[in-house]
Structure 1
Amino acid sequence: MFIVDDDPSVLRSLSRMFQLEGYEVERFDHPRQMLERKPGPRPGCVVLDLRMPELNGLELQAELRRAGWMQPILFISGHGDVPAAVRAMKAGAVDFLPKPVGTVELLAAVERALAQDRAAIASEQEREALRIRFALLTPREREVCQGVARGLLNKQIAAELGTAEQTVRLQRGRVMEKLAVDSVAELVRLMERLGSPP
């Protein structure tokens, strides 16, 4: 967990509270300090103050994303700034909490952020495993795979590819085996998860 707040007393109290709850904490009293650090290990989250010198929380949010930080961000602010809250949420913040924020409310927001990050990591890992399986296909098997995912019959795929229907049937079997799917519906879902819908 990463905390950025230019108020030393807030920074100390937040750090202490999170550490008592068992979180590993890195804290920064200036937004530029965090930008000097490489993206942290995941899962995690970033707790940002909105109003800070030189670089406000919204600007830091944008800089962190540009620098490759993927952890969810939640804002805390002593100012009821609705436009800023809207901008933060549109830019991907998971929450925007007013100061002083209650312990229960803040911990709940952190848990939501961590759950979101864990889900994002699991989804990335699943897509990577699918990409590895898809990479096992030969170029012709990929063409057959695309045809099957589009709902074409073997003879239609064969006509498109200029090959024999029997050959397509064999290649289709290898595609299903390599991708570890049992049905066309599973194949279509797999292609969608890969970001290659038919």
Structure 2
Amino acid sequence: MRNGPVHVIDDDESVRDSLAFLLEGMNLTVLTYPSATMFLEQRPWGLGGCIVSDVRMPDITGIDLLRILKERGVTLPVIIITGNADVPLAVEAMKVGAQDFLEKPFHDEVLLAAIQTALGESAGVQRLSTDVIDINERLQTLTGREHEVLGCLVDGLPNKGIAIKLGISPRTVEVHRAHLMTKMKAASLSHLIRMVLLTETSLMHTPPPPKC
């Protein structure tokens, strides 16, 4: 069951070490992080795999991490580890997007089974996930007006129609269009629209550009 690394996020060093020892003994690649902040800073989701995270951490909690990953369009499966008193938080985590949660203490076999399931799902969606993450990151570089022009292009409006809709000149539309094409790394209008539709039809939760 080797489909990418297991990203272990826990502020307790002993927990990180014990999980790494267990999982590496099963021939899995393990990457550990002392905080969700460090995980987000390193941006390792392009490596694939799955995430095993504690629910209670001092900087960014497991719940907050799930929300941030959802906003960024990251679809790596997340397994939340929780204590007895944290079961309500674990249920909330499932609603936010966690694939599973494990209540401490849990048997090694239970964790390994959950990871095996997560890695199987990750292998199937990782390429799509990586593509959409890249597109979403490009979308975030657009200005508000460029977003509006993009939304109108996706709606099929020509430059003159966009100019009338937005109350700007056709020349200004052309300038915004050229800028957003460059920022989105789009080779053509059809390529640009395909990228936007990919974000809309995927399982990602990053909002698409506003409709014109």
Report the TM-score, using the length of structure 1 for normalisation: 0.58
Residue 116, structure 1, aligned to residue 121, structure 2? yes
Q: Percent identity?
A: 37
- Take 1:27 and 1:42, find their aligned partners in 2: how far apart are those partners? 14
Could you say which residue in structure 2 is the equivalent of 1:74? Answer: 79
- Unaligned segments of structure 1, at least 5 residues: 126-194
> 1:4-53 deviations in whole A, cap 9, x for unaligned?
00111111000111111111111011221111012423541000001110
Aligned length: 127
Residue 17, structure 1, aligned to residue 22, structure 2? yes
Deviation, structure 1 residue 78: 1.9
CA RMSD of aligned residues (A): 2.3
Partners of 2:75 and 2:125 within 8 A in 1: no
Partners of 1:28 and 1:34 within 8 A in 2: yes
- Take 1:116 and 1:11, find their aligned partners in 2: how far apart are those partners? 23
Deviation, structure 1 residue 121: 4.1
Partners of 2:82 and 2:90 within 8 A in 1: no
Residue 4, structure 1, aligned to residue 9, structure 2? yes
- Between 1:11-20 and 1:34-43, the stretch displaced more is 34-43
- Take 2:30 and 2:72, find their aligned partners in 1: how far apart are those partners? 20
Deviation, structure 1 residue 105: 0.2
- Unaligned segments of structure 2, at least 5 residues: 1-5, 130-200, 202-212
> 1:36-82 deviations in whole A, cap 9, x for unaligned?
01242354100000111021110111122323422100001123433
Secondary structure of the 2:97 match is coil
Secondary structure of the 1:23 match is coil
Q: What is the correspondence of 1:126-165 to structure 2 with a 5 Å cutoff? A: none
